[in-house]
Structure 1
Amino acid sequence: MAQHRQRRGPMAEINVVPYIDVMLVLLVIFMITAPLLSQGVKVDLPQADAKPLDKESREPVEVSVDAEGSFYINIGGDEKVPVEAEEIVKRVSIILRKHPDTPVVVRGDNNVNYGAVVEAMVLLQRAGAPGVGLATDPVERK
């Protein structure tokens, strides 16, 4: 007597465990890299009770001056490499020709020579910036 085995039909369920594993790995990667992307050059900004930029305005062009007086430019790209003065004038003038309403901000370190911040402002004026803002940290209320 031959025993007949019943054949199982194809499973209609999707195994989602590998997808969950991939999702968790991506979540961890994004949690680690997101703070690194928003950081720029370490600049110890002075504190002031100033009004923040409008949320409706364009992303500002930031020129940072670190404690040693080196210039950095942040136009949505890499800000970690120091740039020369003429490079700042060239890049900012291109952006302002395309988008004249772009805010321009100088982020000067709290310990930098005042002359370096003024030099950055002069460079931005040469690039065609109608006005230059100074970035500050908010005052800590005690």
Structure 2
Amino acid sequence: MKFRQRHREEPEINLIPFIDVLLVVLIFLMLSTTYSKFTELQVSLPVADAEKLKERPKEIIVAVSADGRYMVNAQAVDGRTVELLSAALAQAAEGNADTVIIVSADATSAHQSVINVMDAARRAGLSKLTFAAQAGAH
């Protein structure tokens, strides 16, 4: 008896359905993923790019240092309280309500120090307030 040998067919793996499934999973993951950003901010203020303003007839320059000390028209304020700063602003304004206060705060000074200047100006009856900044590099 002579038996014929059968030719065995090699099994073939079809990759196209596998690739289709992977693409669907990839699209699903791309659409459902939320990209969260860290809430950590690195802010370096202030910098402005404006022309020099004309001289004002009456202005008070309040300097705020990085450690929270104040100077009103180049004279140091003895304390750091809002009441002392308000008294110094009222004395420098000499009763003139149209006086403009220019806040020149250090870029690393605490936000509360600048808010104290704004509160002291309000208590002294001075409503015109502006902030000084240095010109930024182009």
TM-score calculated relative to the size of structure 2: 0.56
Q: Distance in 1 between matches of 2:118 and 2:51?
A: 20
Cα distance change on mapping 1:82 and 1:95 into 2, 3 Å: closer
2:77/2:88 contact within 8 Å kept: no
Q: Distance in 2 between matches of 1:82 and 1:92?
A: 10
1:63-74 matched pairs, under 5 angstroms: 63-74=62-73
1:28-67 matched pairs, under 5 angstroms: 46-50=46-50, 52-55=52-55, 57-67=56-66
Query: How much has 1:115 moved relative to structure 2?
Result: 1.3
Higher helix fraction (1 or 2) = 1
Residue of 94, 100, 120 corresponding to 2:117: 120
Gaps of 5+ in 1: 1-44
Higher strand fraction (1 or 2) = 2
Query: How much has 1:124 moved relative to structure 2?
Result: 1.1
TM-score calculated relative to the size of structure 1: 0.55
Q: Quick check: 1:89 aligned with 2:86?
A: yes
Moved segments of 4+, more than 4 Å: none
Larger Rg over CA atoms: 2
- Identity value in percent: 24
Residue of 123, 126, 135 corresponding to 2:132: 135
CA RMSD of aligned residues (A): 2.4
Cα distance change on mapping 1:108 and 1:97 into 2, 3 Å: same
